[in-house]
C-alpha cells in the first residue's frame, strides 16, 4: 500500500508542505495529493503555479493569504462539506508556521472537516539538524520589526533555558543580530543558516560576539532568507550546587571520590549519587 499512489479523499483538507528552495524536496505523497484534490489554496498563486507546473499539476487554484484568509477559508470549508477535497500550500515550507493557514485549519476544525498534514521540507528542522545542539529549543519565528518591541521580546526570552530559533529577512539581519548580541550576550553560539536548500546555501556558526563582523565581511552574507539558532544560556549554579562543589573541592584533596561524595552528602544533605557524579566530573576537570 505504501508504494502505491495515495490520492486525496473526498471532504478532506490537506495541509501540504512544499519545498523551501529545492524543487526536488517535494515528497511523493505531496505529489499524490496535489495531483488529485479538487482545489488547491495557495498563499501566492503566481509562486505556486511555477511549482505545480514543474510537476505537471493543473488544479484549480484559489488565493488564500493573510488579507483574505477568513473569507476564503469559509468558502473552502463549504466546498469541503459538500464533498470536495482541498489542499493548502504556502509559498514555501509548512503552512501555518510563520505563514498563513492557521485560520483555514481553525475554520475546517470548527466545521468538523477532516484535516490531514502532509509533512515535508522545514527550514527550522533543517537548521537544527546541522546545529549540533542537543536539548530543548523554542521556535520564535520572526521577531517584531520595530526595534523597541524586538528588544523587549529578547529580554523576555533571555533567561529561558533552551536554544532559540528565529526567522529573519535580509533587510533586517544586521540589526537583528546586533540586538541578539546586545540582549543575549556575546558568549552564546549562533548558527546562521542562509538560503537553505537553494543554490547559494550557506551555514556558518560562531559566537554572537563574532557574528556582526562575519555579516559585514561579505555582501553575500546578508542576502537571502535566514534561520538563526542561538544556543541556550550557560547553566547557572544554585546556592546548593555551589556549596556542594566547595565541600567536594576540600574533601577530594584527601579522600577518594566515593568517600568524598558520601561525606559531602552528610554535610550538605544532598543526594549521594548526584554528588558522586559531580565529584567524578570535578576530578576530570583540568
Q: What is the CATH number of the domain that holds 226?
A: 3.30.950.10
Q: What was the pLDDT predicted at 106? A: 95
Q: What was the pLDDT predicted at 274? A: 85
Residue 162 domain flag: yes
Residue 248 domain flag: yes
Residue bearing cell 482545489: 39
Strands 202-207 and 13-16: unpaired
Q: Please tell me the distance from the alpha carbon of residue 143 to that of residue 178, in angstroms, as a whole number.
A: 13
β-partners of residue 193 are 203, 227
Q: What is the CATH number of the domain that holds 33?
A: 3.40.1010.10
By three-state DSSP, how is residue 102 classified? helix
User: Total structural domains in the chain?
Assistant: 3
Strands 137-142 and 202-207: unpaired
* Helix (H) / strand (E) containing 275: helix 272-284
> Domain limits at 188?
124-230
Q: Please tell me the distance from the alpha carbon of residue 39 to that of residue 194, in angstroms, as a whole number.
A: 33
Q: What is the pTM of this model?
A: 0.79
Q: Please tell me the distance from the alpha carbon of residue 188 to that of residue 273, in angstroms, as a whole number.
A: 31
Listed residue (235, 236, 228) closest to 154, CA to CA: 228
Strands 13-16 and 115-118: parallel
The per-residue pLDDT for range 231-243, each reduced to its tens digit, is: 999 876 567 788 8
Are residues 130 and 117 part of one domain? no
Look up residue 103 and give its DSSP letter: H
Q: Which of 230, 250, 273 is the last residue of a domain?
A: 230
The per-residue pLDDT for range 120-135, each reduced to its tens digit, is: 999 999 999 999 998 8
Q: Please tell me the distance from the alpha carbon of residue 105 to that of residue 65, in angstroms, as a whole number.
A: 13
Q: Which three cell numbers stand for residue 60?
A: 484549480
Q: What was the pLDDT predicted at 238? A: 67
**CB 158, CB 184: distance < 8 Å:** yes
- Spell out the per-residue pLDDT of the chain, length 286, in tens: 567 899 999 999 999 999 999 999 999 999 999 999 999 999 999 989 999 999 999 888 999 988 898 899 999 999 999 999 999 999 999 998 888 899 999 999 999 999 999 999 999 999 999 999 988 999 999 999 999 999 999 999 999 999 999 999 999 999 999 999 999 999 999 999 999 999 999 999 999 999 999 999 999 999 999 999 999 998 765 677 888 888 989 999 989 999 999 999 999 888 888 888 888 888 877 6
Are residues 195 and 117 part of one domain? no
Q: Please tell me the distance from the alpha carbon of residue 197 to that of residue 199, in angstroms, as a whole number.
A: 7
Q: What was the pLDDT predicted at 243? A: 87
**CB 59, CB 86: distance < 8 Å:** no
Exposed/middle/buried for 185, CB within 10 Å: 0-12, 13-18, 19+?
A: middle
Residue 7 domain flag: no
Which phi and psi angles does 139 have, rounded to 5°?
-85, 115
Amino acid at each position: 500500500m505504501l508504494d502505491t499512489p495515495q490520492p486525496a479523499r473526498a471532504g478532506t483538507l490537506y495541509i501540504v508542505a512544499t519545498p523551501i528552495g529545492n524543487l526536488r524536496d517535494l515528497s511523493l505523497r505531496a505529489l499524490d495529493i496535489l495531483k488529485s484534490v479538487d482545489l488547491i489554496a495557495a498563499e501566492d498563486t503566481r509562486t505556486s503555479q511555477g511549482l505545480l507546473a514543474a510537476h505537471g499539476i493543473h488544479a484549480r487554484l484559489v488565493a488564500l493569504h493573510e488579507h483574505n484568509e477568513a473569507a476564503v477559508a469559509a468558502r473552502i470549508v463549504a466546498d469541503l462539506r459538500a464533498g470536495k477535497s482541498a489542499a493548502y500550500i504556502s509559498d514555501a515550507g509548512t503552512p501555518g508556521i510563520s505563514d498563513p493557514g492557521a485560520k483555514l485549519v481553525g475554520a475546517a476544525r470548527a466545521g468538523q472537516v477532516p484535516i490531514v498534514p502532509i509533512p515535508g521540507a522545514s527550514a527550522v528542522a533543517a537548521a537544527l539538524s546541522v546545529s549540533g545542539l542537543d536539548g530543548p529549543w523554542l521556535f520564535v519565528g520572526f521577531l517584531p520589526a520595530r526595534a523597541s518591541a524586538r528588544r523587549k521580546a529578547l529580554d523576555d526570552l533571555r533567561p529561558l533555558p533552551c536554544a532559540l530559533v528565529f526567522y529573519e529577512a535580509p533587510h533586517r539581519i544586521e540589526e537583528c543580530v546586533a540586538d541578539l548580541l546586545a540582549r543575549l550576550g556575546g558568549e552564546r553560539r549562533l548558527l546562521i543558516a542562509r538560503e537553505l536548500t537553494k543554490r547559494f546555501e550557506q551555514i556558518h556558526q560562531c559566537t554572537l560576539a563574532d557574528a556582526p563582523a562575519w555579516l559585514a565581511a561579505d555582501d553575500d552574507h546578508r542576502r537571502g532568507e535566514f534561520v538563526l539558532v542561538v544556543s541556550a544560556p550557560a547553566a547557572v549554579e544554585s546556592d546548593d550546587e555551589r556549596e556542594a562543589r566547595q565541600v567536594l573541592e576540600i574533601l577530594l584533596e584527601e579522600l577518594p571520590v566515593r568517600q568524598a561524595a558520601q561525606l559531602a552528602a552528610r554535610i550538605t544533605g544532598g543526594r549521594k549519587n548526584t554528588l558522586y557524579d559531580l565529584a567524578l566530573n570535578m576530578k576530570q576537570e583540568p
